[in-house]
Each structure stands twice: as C-alpha cells, then as structure tokens.
Structure 1
Amino acid sequence: MSEVLIVDDDHNFRETLRELLSDAGYQTLVATNAEEAITLLQTTTPELTLCDWKMPGGGGEQFLKSLQSEGLLTTMPVIILTAHGTGPNAIQAMQLGAYDFITKPLDIDLALATVARAIRHMELQREVEVLRQQRFRDRFVEDMTTSEEGLKPQLIGNSPAWIEVFKNIGRVAATDVGVLLLGESGTGKEVVARAIHQNSARSRRTFIILNCAALPPELLESELFGHERGAFTGAIAQKRGKFEAADGGTIFLDEIGELPLSLQPKLLRVLQEHTFERVGGTVSIHTDVRVIAATNRPLEDDVEQKTFRADLFYRLNAFTVRLPPLRERQSDILPLAEYFLARYAQRNQIASTGLAADAIMALHNYSFPGNVRELEHLIERAAVKAGGRAITAEQIQAELTKEKSSSPAVFDNQTAMGMPFHEAVASWERHLIEQALMASQGNKSDAARRLGIHRRLLYEKLAGLGIK
C-alpha cells in the first residue's frame, strides 16, 4: 500500500484530504509545514507528498528547495496544492521540480488521478533503473556524461542498414573523391558528412556547412565564392567565400538540388580545376577543397528536366552513400533515444532519465516520417514534460498526438460547396500545397515540381495563404 505525506497548515483541509486518500487505499502521514515535513522525511520515505504552497513555518517553496538539494525529487514526487494558484507561483513550483501544481478548491477526481499517475510514474522509474542495470549500454552514453565530446552529433546505431553506412564511410573517407549523400530529410546527412571529414586526411582542417536552399541566388554566389568591394550594392568590403575559407578542408553542400542553374558552371569549375573568381573579381583563386553534397530527392529527375547539369551531377556522384530512413532501422530507435536523453541531460545539467518499457514500445510502433530529427525533438519535448523522471508512453503519445494534429487537414468537398467561389478555390489551393509539402518533407522546390508550378509562384502562394 502506497504511503502519501500531506503537508498543510489547515487542519480541516488536511483531515479531509487524509480521509479521501485513505478511502482510495493509500496510507497517509501529515505535517503542518515544510520544516516539520523535512524532519519527518529523515525517518520515513513516503512515495508521494502533497504540499501546500504558503504556510507559516515554511511552505512549498522551501520544501521543494530542500528536496532538490538532496536530489530526492526524482524519487519522491511533490504535488503542490494551493489556493494561491497564480501563474508566477506555478512557474516557480515547476522550475523547482514539482511534479504537478493543483489549485484549491480541489477537483477531487483530478487530485486522485494525479496522485495515482505520480505513483505509477515512480514505479516506472524504478523499472527503468532495473532495465538500465540489466541491459548493456553503448559506450557513447558513458562518454557523454563525462566529456564535452558528448555534445557533438554522433553516428548511433548497429542495424544492418546503418552498418552499411559505416562501411561506406570507411571506404570513402581516406580518399579525396566527392561524395553524394542521398536520404530523406532528417536522416542525418550532415552527421555523416562530418564523420567522413573527421576520418579523412583533412580532419585537422576546416569543415564548413552551407545549405543551398537557405539563400537567394545572388547571396548564395557571394557566400560560396566571396565578392570584391563594390561588386554590388552593399558590398562595402572584400569578402572571402566558403570555398576560400575551406581551403585544405571539406565543404558540405546540403540540398544541392536547390543550387541555381546559373551557379552550377562555377561549382563545376571548382570541382574540375580547383579555381574560381570572387563576385566582381578577375583574379583566379586556387582552392583545395573536398566537396560532399547531399540531396533528399533523386537528382536524375532534375537532370532529365534540365534544371541540373548532367556533367555536375556526374562529378558530384563519384561515390554515393544512401542513408536509410528510421523506419528501415527500427533497432536503432532505442539507442538513439537514449543518446538524445543523455545529451539533453548534459546540456541542461540535470540527472539523466530513462524510458519506461511502454514508452519504448510506443516509439517502436511509430513510423517517424521526420526520421532521426523527429525522434530527437520528440525525446526532448517528452524529457521536459518528464521533469527528470522516467518518460512514459503517455508522454510519448501526447507528443505524437501533437504531431498528427499539425498535419494538413483533408479537403472537405461538401463544406467547399457552401463557400463563396474564391474561398473554395483558396481552400483547394491550400489543401494541394499542404499535401505537396508533406510529400516532399517540406522541400519547397520539390513541392513546386509536384504541383507543376514555378518555385517563386509557390512562395507567393505560401505567403498569401499564410502557410509557414
């Protein structure tokens, strides 16, 4: 039978709550303020505490700070019950490690449900600790708790599909050939590019990243190749480009399919002759750079449609590494999730938590269309909710529900028939654009191709319809 400590200076409320908890099957202890409760905890270990926020002789703030200093809040949750249910109080209580914050007068059903959930959460926490001791943990988690290296992205996984990626890195890293990384958004192309660089003879030199879709063509050329003073309006000084800065090292060009056709000959020349001129310049600059490019769609289609030069494609495609989506490497989900949890704990200087068995099952039952990046964000959000305790299936499912609720709505033909003509057209356009964006993993150029419209028109539609 679980034991609950009640800390409240109001005798009538304390006794009423004690009776409610006893009727629900809990044993109870009582204290009238924080100091008395702290003394009581020296001789007994209840599974949960219900504590008032403001009390003579020390309230909830003092109680939480005392438990926090002793590191007890992850093993004995504290639920704050208070008539002072202001926003600042709630924020402060949660920052100090409270499990929950409930205002008076009490909703009895809510209070009892919260008590049951907190105690179950602690049971899951203990199960996680047992699983941790039983299960072999990869070296990367141990390293992360003691080293700044742990904050860097890691190549995590031992599934057959991911081992093939490791093998390809081993094959190509020591050479100086160009590499084309293929894979859906969020599969870890930047991490793989960095691993190739770190395992090459260039590892002591610069590794530079540039997303070709992040800048308009006129700025992209300057970023890649630099510019001379006065080359264009606003060019008040000479600027070195990425290729110049990466001399001797590696440059990673993400979303290479977005490189404008007008800049492709200049990139091809760098790859073939290792020379270029700054924008507005006439002096040829030599650079020794290895180029690793990445794309989330088949460049062969762009070559066929004459939006990507065939000679540049073949030059970039000297060696191809395909990165599998997370749904093809399910055995890597748990080690990845544990890695993200450990990294989250280190970054926020909190104790590392774990995943309850039902949470692990929930992760394995999800397809992760956003791949490793989606898993990372999901784990971080769930870890915030868990507050240093074990992450449960309930918290995972709550985050997955949010993901689904943000998905594009299905076009309702019946509703559209009742709209004015222009509103119905706008609704249909929104539906088509959202579906195309979802199918292209958010890649606007790919979405424009799917829709059969120019990319500039798509940007105008997105702005007009308020789609982010």
Structure 2
Amino acid sequence: MVWDPRGSRYSLISHVLSECSARPRRLEGLIAVRQVERSRWCHLAVVSLGASPFPSDVGLQVVQALKHKGFGVICYEDGAQSWPLGTRCHVLLAGSRWLLDSATAEFAQDLRQTVAHLLRAENARRDEEDSMKGLMRKLGVVGESQAMLAVFQTIVRASPLSDLPVLITGETGTGKEVMARAIHQLDPKRRNGPFVALNCGAISPGLAESELFGHRRGAFTGADRDRKGLIRSAENGVLFLDEIGELDHALQAKLLRVLQEKRVLGVGEDQEVPISTRVVAATNRDLDELVRLRKFRADLFHRLNVLSVHLPPLRERVADVGPLIEHFVAKYRFLRPSGAFAVAPDFVDALMQVELPGNARQLENLVREALVQKEDETALNLRDLPRDIWQQLSARWERPSIPSDPADVGTDIQVSALEPLRHDLPASMLNVLNLNGWNLSRSLQHCERLLLEAALHKAQGNQSQTAHLLGITPRSVYNKIHKHQLPH
C-alpha cells in the first residue's frame, strides 16, 4: 500500500517495490485507507507524511489507522532526518517502524533494504503463525485473530516452565479452561499427569478446605474415610483453580503456603506432605482491585502472577467468530445426524455484529440452539437465530453519511477541510471516525490505544506511573499494553 497524495515519489517507490517482488497499490484517499484490510499478501504500507507533521495531521492519522490494522509502516518525506527529535517521535508513536528521508541520494537504496527486511521478517512470522495455528488446532484452541495468536504464543512460552504457577484473566466465557488444558498438554513435565479442575465459586467455604487439602478420617463429622484432596490428586499434573477471586480469605493463606513450600497439610493431619503440582488459576475479576479492597491477599496474587495470560473478549477479536461457529457446528453435529452442516454468511455476519457478553460460551449456546430448533435441511442462516438477536440488529441506528473524501476527485488532499473546527467536532475526531468506518467500538479502541501510548510516553514507559496518570491499576495498564500489542 502506498499513500502519496502529492504523487511526488510514487513512480520511484513503485519501481523499488516491484524490484522487491512486491506489487504496489496506491491508496486514493481516506475512504481507501478505511476500506483496506491487512491480509497474507498485503501487509506493508509506505506513507508520505508532509512537511513536519503534527499528531493531528492526515499523514499521521493514516499511519495510525494502518498500524491498527496490522500493517508494517514505512514513512518518508523530504528532509525528514533534519526534523526535530520531537517531530520524529510523533511519527514513531503513530506506529511507523521506519522514517526515511526521501531527499537523500540513498533513499531508493534505503527503501529497498527496508522493504526486503520487512518481507523476510513477514515470511518468518507467517511460517511461525502457520506452525502456531496447527498446534492450536491439535489442542482444541479455536482462533485465527492476531490477538489469539499472540495469546497462544504466550502460552507456548509459559508452558515449559513447569514449576511456576500461571494466572489466566479474562471475561466469562473467553475460554480460560481451554487455555489451562493447553498449558497442561504443552508442559513436558506435567502432560502425562492428571488435570484436576475446581471452580472456587461453586463450592461452599466449609467444604473447600477439605476439597483442596484433604482430610483424615474422623477429622470432622461426616469424615468417614481419609481423603487426599484435589491438590494431591493433581500430583505430577496441573491443578486448575477457576474463579480464584472467589476463594475464601482463610484458604488463600493456606494455598499461599502450598505454593511457597510445595507441601500440603490436610484437615486433621499432623505432618505436611511434599507435593509436585502446578497451579493454574483463572479469574474474570480484577484481582488488582480486589487486593486494593483487601478482599484478596496481595502476597498470593503476586505468587500466582509470576506468569500471566490475558484472554481478550470476543468483541475485540471478531475474526474468531466464524471459526468458532464452524467448530461448534462440528461439535454438535450429533444433534442433526441427517442434516447438512453448512453455515450461511448472514448467520456469521449477524453474530459478528451483536453484543455477546458471554463471549464464546454464549456463541456456543446460540449455535447449539439454532441446530436444535432448525426445522429444515438448509444451511444455518439469519432466520435460525433467536428473536433477541434480531431485535439487537434491528435496533442499531443507521450510521451517519461519511463526509465526502477530497481525494475522490484527485490525488491532492485538501488539508484545510481536515483542520480543527472551532465550534464543532475537532477534525482529529472526524479523522478517527473516518478511518474506522464510523464504527463506535473500533473508534473507541483506536482512541484508547492513542491515549495509552501518550500516557506511556509521558511516564517514560513506567507502567505504575502510567496507571497513576490514567487513574487505573497497573494490572489494567499491563493488560491494555498486551491488548493493543504495544512495546513494553
């Protein structure tokens, strides 16, 4: 992709890209920027900035939009190397990986080398991605979005560290237990041992101690036999503690000792027993906030949080909706033994556009219900979704008409049309909306990323200071950095 509204260097850039076996395509205006999507064969952008750009300028807005879509961005402009450091930092903060001076004699060679480097890196990344996707399918992890690939890469790195606990965070229904089972299977020391799961929110405090740590016969009324408990049942394997934020405060202290000493003491027993069990904990709550409110032990939180994985909600990885639907249709094929298993595009499109607070679990229920209720042998389609989904879709208001793009009538950008409006919405906000197709969710995510980058820059990369500036917890800053794939 080439953004060069003045056309001053397009011929040279096109020639260099062709020499690198790349096919250049010119972006004709902001609408084209909004519509272009990154793909396996389209992942590099070369952007002209204009003289000494400021954060609200069109060139940097284009860089931000393309970076947000996953493009590797190379920026250029005449005299760029003589710009003040602050101006060059604007370019880097917007998302460019390189800034080249197009007025130098070496520009063509520099661009050729940079493009070749990016293409080699992309080929290596693509090979690794294909390998990751194959491993994900093998372990039953469904997803094709960059967000899920990044999560799985973290899982792959964390799994071999067999003696360290893992904390998995994410909204309800995002697949935390699936990831815990993947950790178990990828752990060379634990994969042949048991996987034992406990929902800490579904067991009463009175029974939880015995369930976790075990008891001796006669230790309390009803204890008519010895019980070793779930921790010892997971010996040489993995103990998965779901909803760890719901664990009784007194039991948190005992669990902390188990993690620290690698020993367990059952109810009514006199001696601790050594164990070799890996603990993987999960929660849909903000443990940082619970620690601040003294509802969760800080020392236990820090002990569990040695390795952390955050699962983004489905609304932040809509590219996974289609593959998940196909997975659930195959999973429940037994519900319609004589039926076809095709899925119509409008069925997928509808579920990509509605709110799914229950994430993948809610999506699974919708697919299962559609299969059960279906009365014919046609592909699953919009008609097979429940009434409340129709109501959500029909209630969505129409988007406002997108302002005409000055570039539609030529290659010159009328910058004055995008300058801040003194008595109306600032042009920078109009640019954000334009670049995100007037989609509120994507625009808000775009703004969140920019604000986070600005705060990190002001705090010189210090996450605790960034959290203080933004009025959120350091854990939230950490999660948002990973969500937006920012350097840290």
Report TM bin, short chain.
Answer: 0.5 to 0.7
* Contact residue 343 and residue 380 of structure 2 kept, 8 A: yes
Q: How many residues align?
A: 257
Offset at residue 308 of structure 1 (A): 1.1
Change (3 A) 1:234 1:263: same
Q: How does 1:69-468 map to 2 (within 5 A)?
A: 154-176=140-162, 177-201=164-188, 202-346=190-334, 349-387=337-375, 388-398=377-387, 400=389
- Residue 330 of structure 1 aligns with an amino acid whose one-letter code is V
TM-score by length of 1: 0.52
Any stretches of 5+ residues in structure 2 without a counterpart? 1-129, 394-488
Offset at residue 362 of structure 1 (A): 1.0
C-alpha distance in 1, partners of 2:302/2:345?
47
Change (3 A) 1:282 1:396: same
Change (3 A) 1:347 1:230: farther
Q: How does 1:55-70 map to 2 (within 5 A)?
A: none
- Report the equivalent of 2:443: none
Change (3 A) 1:394 1:301: same
- Residue 203 of structure 1 aligns with an amino acid whose one-letter code is R
* Contact residue 356 and residue 392 of structure 1 kept, 8 A: yes
Change (3 A) 1:220 1:350: farther
Change (3 A) 1:195 1:348: farther
C-alpha distance in 2, partners of 1:156/1:362?
19
1:127-170 residue CA offsets vs partner (Å, 9 max, x unmatched)? xxxxxxxxxxxx9xxx9xxxxxx9x9821111011111111011
Change (3 A) 1:369 1:206: same
* Contact residue 341 and residue 352 of structure 1 kept, 8 A: no
Offset at residue 389 of structure 1 (A): 3.4
Offset at residue 351 of structure 1 (A): 4.3
C-alpha distance in 1, partners of 2:228/2:392?
41
SS of the aligned residue for 1:236 comes to coil
Change (3 A) 1:281 1:323: same
SS of the aligned residue for 2:385 comes to helix
SS of the aligned residue for 1:181 comes to strand
Offset at residue 315 of structure 1 (A): 0.3
TM-score by length of 2: 0.50
Tell me the percent identity. 45
C-alpha distance in 2, partners of 1:345/1:403?
28
C-alpha distance in 1, partners of 2:238/2:308?
17
- Report the equivalent of 1:121: none
Segments ≥4 residues shifted beyond 4 Å:
346-352, 401-404
Offset at residue 232 of structure 1 (A): 1.2
* Contact residue 207 and residue 249 of structure 1 kept, 8 A: yes
- Residue 390 of structure 1 aligns with an amino acid whose one-letter code is A
* Contact residue 174 and residue 313 of structure 2 kept, 8 A: yes
* Contact residue 362 and residue 397 of structure 1 kept, 8 A: no
SS of the aligned residue for 1:213 comes to helix
Offset at residue 397 of structure 1 (A): 4.2
Offset at residue 401 of structure 1 (A): 5.8
SS of the aligned residue for 1:203 comes to coil
SS of the aligned residue for 1:279 comes to coil
SS of the aligned residue for 1:384 comes to helix
- Residue 226 of structure 2 aligns with an amino acid whose one-letter code is Q
1:405-451 residue CA offsets vs partner (Å, 9 max, x unmatched)? xxxxxxxxxxxxxxxxxxxxxxxxxxxxxxxxxxxxxxxxxxxxxxx
C-alpha distance in 2, partners of 1:403/1:241?
46
* Contact residue 225 and residue 279 of structure 1 kept, 8 A: yes
- Bigger Rg, structure 1 or 2: 1
Offset at residue 386 of structure 1 (A): 1.9
C-alpha distance in 1, partners of 2:214/2:362?
35
C-alpha distance in 2, partners of 1:402/1:209?
38
* Contact residue 342 and residue 352 of structure 1 kept, 8 A: no
C-alpha distance in 2, partners of 1:220/1:392?
45
Tell me: higher relative CO, structure 1 or 2? Use CA pairs within 8 A at least 6 residues apart.
Answer: 2
- Residue 273 of structure 1 aligns with an amino acid whose one-letter code is E
Give the superposed CA RMSD: 2.4
* Contact residue 335 and residue 371 of structure 2 kept, 8 A: no
SS of the aligned residue for 2:202 comes to coil
* Contact residue 354 and residue 392 of structure 2 kept, 8 A: no
SS of the aligned residue for 1:169 comes to helix
C-alpha distance in 2, partners of 1:347/1:252?
30
Offset at residue 396 of structure 1 (A): 1.4
* Contact residue 336 and residue 371 of structure 2 kept, 8 A: no
Change (3 A) 1:261 1:376: same
- Residue 177 of structure 2 aligns with an amino acid whose one-letter code is E
Offset at residue 398 of structure 1 (A): 2.8
* Contact residue 382 and residue 399 of structure 1 kept, 8 A: no
* Contact residue 378 and residue 399 of structure 1 kept, 8 A: no
Change (3 A) 1:350 1:268: farther
Any stretches of 5+ residues in structure 1 without a counterpart? 1-138, 144-149, 405-468
- Residue 160 of structure 1 aligns with an amino acid whose one-letter code is Q
C-alpha distance in 2, partners of 1:287/1:197?
17
Offset at residue 346 of structure 1 (A): 4.3
* Contact residue 183 and residue 296 of structure 1 kept, 8 A: yes
Change (3 A) 1:191 1:291: same
SS of the aligned residue for 1:332 comes to helix
Offset at residue 283 of structure 1 (A): 2.0
1:342-370 residue CA offsets vs partner (Å, 9 max, x unmatched)? 11004764545121122122111112111
